[in-house]
Amino acid sequence: MPKIRREDTVLVIKGKERGKTGVVRQVITGKSRLIVAGVNMVKRHMRPRAERPGGIIEREGSIHVSNVMIICKSCNKPTRVGFRFRESGSKVRFCRHCDQPLD
């Protein structure tokens, strides 16, 4: 089970974007990287295609998972993620600050 998933709100704790928050748009599991909305903006020079014009396009670059912390929805603090098993046997993520489930 991954510690950070799509639609989680995260805080960047290292790098040039330190202190910014955003929602995870994509998780790249093979490389342990995330794409966070509005964070780590990079410019790409795109060649024109039939469906879109060319030019310089600004979009989000990826960030390593170790450089972000998930923000708990109940206590609104950046936290580490813990795992527990429910009575039904399913695994659930929880906040290490307030012990509330993150899912």
> What share of the chain in percent tops pLDDT 90?
94
Rounded mean pLDDT of the chain?
94
Domain ranges of the chain: 9-75
Give the mean model confidence (pLDDT) for residues 83-91. 93
CATH topology of domain 9-75: SH3 type barrels. (2.30.30)
DSSP per-residue letters across the chain: --SS-TT-EEEE-SSTTTT-EEEEEEEEGGGTEEEETTSSEEEEEE---SSS--EEEEEEPEEEGGGEEEEPTTT-SEE-EEEEE-TTS-EEEEETTT--B--
Provide the pLDDT for residue 1.
74
| pTM for this predicted structure | 0.85
Residues 30-69 have pLDDT tens digits of 999 999 999 999 999 999 999 989 999 999 999 999 999 9
- pLDDT category at 103 given cuts 50, 70, 90 is confident
pLDDT for position 2: 87
Q: For 66-81, what is the mean pLDDT? A: 94
